[in-house]
Structures are given as C-alpha cells and as structure tokens.
C-alpha cells in the first residue's frame, strides 16, 4: 500500500515535502524581488544617471566623429582642387586654394598644402620661400616620417649650391644609407657634397654603393656607376650582366 507524503516525511526526516519546496521557492522569489527593489531604490538614480552620461558620450563621439570626417573630406577636396590647378600650370591658384589649410588643416593636409605652396614658390622663382616651407615641414614634430624626410631632401636640393658641403653631409647623414627609401636622392646629394669638400674617396665609395643597389632606378645607378668610374672606383660587379642590361651581348662586346 502506497504511503502518503506525510508518512514518507516521517520515515525520512530532513527531506522537505512538496508543499515545503513550493513555499521555499516562493520565499526565495520574494527575497529576490525585495533585493531587486532595494537595489533600485538605493542605486536607481545613480545608475540611470550613469547610463544617461554613457549614452550622451556615445552620441557626442559619433557627432564629433561625423564632423571630423566631414572636415577631412573638405580638406581633401581643397587639395584635389589645388592639384587640378597644378595640372593646368596655375601654381598661384593652387597655392591660394590651400592657404587656409596651413593653419587650420590636419597634419596631413597641412603638410600637403605646404608642399604645394613650395612648388608654387619655386615656379615663381622664390627659392627662399620654398626653402622656408620645406624647412617648416621637416621641423614639425607631427609631420609623418616619410613626409619629413622628403621635405629635408627638397630643402637641401632647392638651395644646394648655397649650402656648405659639410652641412649637406650632416643633414642627410641618416638618409644617405643603403636600405633607406631616400637613399638614391640623399646619396647622390651627399656624394656631390663630398666631391665639393674634396673627399674623393668618400664620394667614390658612395657612388659605388648606389651603383650596386638594385632597389634604385637604373638611370640613377648608371649615373652613379659613371661617377664612380671617374673617381677610380670599379662599381661593376658583373660585367656580363651589365652588358646584358645595356642590350649588348657578350659577343658584340668582344667584337668591339
């Protein structure tokens, strides 16, 4: 004969009945509701304020980001318009179009504007202004490294004849090394400065390095090879390969 729940509970003390389990769950639920109610009573206002501030911050960021992106687009349009003027040989017009970017543009727009204005100054024969603009780009700590190095190259090459050779060598020392993206331009300027300073050995060695650097344009390597030869430095490592590059077969070379 089956026993009733009360009989079971009597036989197995400590085991809650179904009614007790239901009651315990109701009490537990009531306690949770009271805890939740108490939590919101204590922290509801601060929490709501925090959420409001978070949402305001998010909307503020997106608003600022949208305005910033719109400003960058306007600056890009100014630069593109200025480049169109350069293509039309209207350098003065190009300079005027980017004039406002010098003070109010982003670092990239500001650097581009100065490069354009330097080109316009050179076109107008004003080398001093061009050098000043290139120097300001190179001196700006916010200018990206590649643009700063390009500005240094342009600054030195623009008034190279007026510079002391030692100044040229020192200014380009970090760029006139194999592996540097500006090795070709900086190396050639540095080698010529060495020649003007009477450092024929240094000039010859640098021209030889340039001649053997396969990363450089062939026209520059050929020019460096000729200069190295004039200075008594053999810059030809593979004669047959050179003849092949020049379009001359070994047979033709031997026949000559």
On the CB side of 40, CA atoms within 13 Å amount to: 6
Give the model's pLDDT for residue 5: 46
Same domain as 168, residue 155: no
The number of angstroms, rounded, from the C-alpha of 119 to the middle of its chain's C-alpha atoms is: 22
Q: If you average pLDDT over every residue of the chain, what do you get?
A: 75
Give the model's pLDDT for residue 66: 46
65-75 pLDDT tens trace = 444 566 667 87
Q: How many domains does the chain have?
A: 2
Same domain as 167, residue 138: no
Domain closes at, from 134, 160, 186 = 160
User: At a CB cut-off of 8 Å and minimum separation 6, what does 62 contact?
Assistant: none
Domain closes at, from 110, 144, 160 = 160
Asked whether residue 112 is assigned to any structural domain, the reply reads yes
Asked whether residue 8 is assigned to any structural domain, the reply reads no
Asked whether residue 189 is assigned to any structural domain, the reply reads yes
The tokens for 171 are: 């200014």
Higher pLDDT, 100 or 136: 136
45-72 pLDDT tens trace = 554 555 445 545 554 444 444 445 666 6
Same domain as 156, residue 167: no
Asked whether residue 230 is assigned to any structural domain, the reply reads yes
Q: Are 122 and 158 in contact (CB under 8 A)?
A: yes
Asked whether residue 102 is assigned to any structural domain, the reply reads yes
Asked whether residue 26 is assigned to any structural domain, the reply reads no
pTM over 0.75: no
* Confidence band, pLDDT 50/70/90 cuts, at residue 22: low
Please determine, for residue 242, whether its predicted confidence score (pLDDT) is greater than 90.
no
Higher pLDDT, 47 or 84: 84
Higher pLDDT, 15 or 73: 73
Same domain as 137, residue 75: yes
Same domain as 178, residue 143: no
Q: Are 241 and 213 in contact (CB under 8 A)?
A: no
Same domain as 223, residue 177: yes
Asked whether residue 200 is assigned to any structural domain, the reply reads yes
Give the model's pLDDT for residue 101: 82
Per DSSP, helices labelled H in 16-123 are 18-87, 91-97, 101-104, 107-123
* Confidence band, pLDDT 50/70/90 cuts, at residue 108: confident
Same domain as 169, residue 156: no
Asked whether residue 106 is assigned to any structural domain, the reply reads yes
Give the model's pLDDT for residue 79: 78
Highest-pLDDT range among 199-203, 244-248, 252-256: 199-203
Same domain as 185, residue 105: no
Same domain as 110, residue 131: yes
Give the model's pLDDT for residue 241: 53
Same domain as 75, residue 126: yes
Domain closes at, from 122, 144, 160 = 160
Q: Which domain holds residue 243?
A: 163-247
Give the model's pLDDT for residue 233: 86
Give the model's pLDDT for residue 255: 45
Give the model's pLDDT for residue 235: 64
Q: Which helix (H) or strand (E) holds 140?
A: none
* Confidence band, pLDDT 50/70/90 cuts, at residue 165: very high
Q: At what angle do helices 18-87 and 107-123 cross, to 10 degrees?
A: 0
């Amino acid at each position: 004969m089956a026993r009733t729940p009360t009989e079971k509970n009597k036989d197995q003390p400590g085991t809650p009945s179904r009614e007790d389990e239901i009651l315990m769950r109701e009490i537990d639920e009531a306690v949770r509701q009271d805890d939740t109610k108490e939590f919101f009573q204590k922290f509801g206002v601060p929490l709501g304020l925090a959420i409001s501030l978070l949402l305001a911050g998010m909307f503020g960021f997106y608003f600022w980001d949208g305005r910033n992106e719109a400003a960058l687009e306007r600056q890009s349009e100014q630069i593109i318009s200025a480049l169109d003027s350069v293509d039309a040989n209207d350098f003065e017009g190009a300079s005027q179009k980017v004039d406002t970017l010098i003070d109010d543009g982003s670092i990239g727009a500001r650097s581009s504007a100065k490069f354009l204005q330097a080109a316009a100054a050179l076109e107008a024969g004003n080398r001093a202004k061009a050098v000043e603009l290139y120097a300001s780009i190179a001196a700006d700590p916010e200018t990206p490294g590649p643009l700063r190095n390009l500005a240094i190259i342009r600054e030195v090459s623009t008034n190279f004849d007026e510079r002391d050779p030692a100044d040229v060598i020192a200014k380009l020392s970090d760029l006139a090394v194999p592996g540097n993206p500006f090795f070709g331009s900086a190396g050639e300027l540095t080698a010529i400065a060495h020649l003007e300073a009477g450092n024929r050995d240094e000039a010859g060695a640098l021209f030889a390095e340039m001649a053997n650097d396969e990363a450089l344009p062939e026209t520059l390597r050929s020019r460096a090879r000729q200069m190295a030869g004039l200075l008594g430095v053999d810059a030809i490592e593979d004669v047959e390969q050179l003849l092949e590059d020049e379009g001359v077969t070994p047979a033709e070379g031997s026949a000559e």
